[in-house]
Amino acid sequence: MYSRIKNLLSLFNKDTFHDFLEIIRLKFHLNFAFVILGATSFSERIDTGLIFSLLLMYLSFNVFVYGGIYTMNAITDLDKDSQHPLKCNRPLPSGRISKQSAIKLAVSLMSIGTFLGFLLFGINVGLIYVVFIAINLFYSLVARNIPYLELFVNASTMPLRLLMGTYLVTDSLVPTSLMFGAFCVGIGFLSVRRIVEKDIQNSIEARPALKAYQGNTMLWIQLVSFIGLILAFSSDIFIQQTFTAYLLMVIYFIIFCLGVHFSKSLRSYWRNFYGH
């Protein structure tokens, strides 16, 4: 473990801190909100202890484990990103970070993060960290170019985030309905990403699965997912604890997922967000 930390620190002698933040995709860390929803829905109280635990989980999971996963994705996407009109400016395709340094970074971050997951939060959370790495390996190496499968595999990480937050405060329940609702929201905003990616020139060459999403396909997928979210909302046996979480997910889905079909400014925002 000491050697992993040493390798991680040595990278900052070669690459800028800004490039490090870019390669671990700091702007995507907002999905940690699902962890927070899981924890706050089932916690008896929100106090400094819970906040501190969430901060530690954010550091070990989002910064280390997912930072390593995003770096791994950048390595597997290197050739395709080099052909993309916007993504070619990212640290790896532009050459600001070498492939060798990125490999060291990915392995170090995932190793340290998984170790911290088991150490700080126990076997349930630690195993979820391992499952995340496995899912993303499967996505990067197999699923990413298979239409629809790539959406479902990607969205499967959302309920796992929620479960991870739940395990932070209790290991006596699995909120299946809320997890399904989180999966539906995941499908909703992944559909937004595919919609705006199709707006960008040469994106289909970089992501071949986009060819399958013709016409109103993404809209229909979003509508079915929204119905799934409402069904989960209406049938959850833990609704007294989960009502606020559902309400936030429904509002988010309506404004930020379905809204992309009606608001040019929102569509432009998502295009800029996902295009770089």
Could you write out the three-class secondary structure of 43-85? Answer: CCCCCHHHHHHHHHHHHHHHHHHHHHHHHHHHHHCHHHHHHCC
| Mean pLDDT estimate for the chain | 86
What would the pLDDT profile of 40-72 be if each residue is shown by its tens digit? 999 989 999 999 999 999 999 999 999 899 888
Residue type at position 189: F
Give pTM, 2 decimals.
0.85
Structure tokens at 60: 């070990």
Identify the band that residue 84 occupies on the pLDDT scale cut at 50, 70 and 90: low
Higher pLDDT pick, 232 / 89: 232
Q: How far is CA 173 from CA 38, 41, 167, 238, 240, in A?
A: 11, 12, 8, 10, 15
Residue 142, H or E segment: none
Q: Mean pLDDT lowest for which of 9-13, 63-67, 235-239?
A: 9-13
String of b and e for 220-231 (b: at least 16 CB within 10 Å)? ebbeebbebbee
For range 168-191, the mean pLDDT: 94
Locate the domains of the chain by residue range: 2-275
Alpha-helix residue ranges (DSSP H) falling in the chain: 2-10, 17-23, 33-42, 48-57, 66-76, 78-83, 91-94, 99-121, 123-141, 149-155, 157-169, 176-199, 203-206, 217-235, 239-252, 264-275
Residue 15's pLDDT is what? 47
Contact 121, 127 (CB under 8 A): no
Q: What is 2-275's CATH superfamily?
A: Farnesyl Diphosphate Synthase (1.10.600.10)
The answer on pLDDT for 202 being more than 70 is no
Write out the two tokens for 44: 């008896």
Closest CA to 99 of 63, 124, 75: 75
Backbone torsions φ then ψ of 155, nearest 5 degrees:
-70, -20
The string of pLDDT tens digits covering residues 100-150 is: 888 888 899 999 999 999 999 999 999 999 999 999 999 988 998 899 999
Contact 191, 210 (CB under 8 A): no
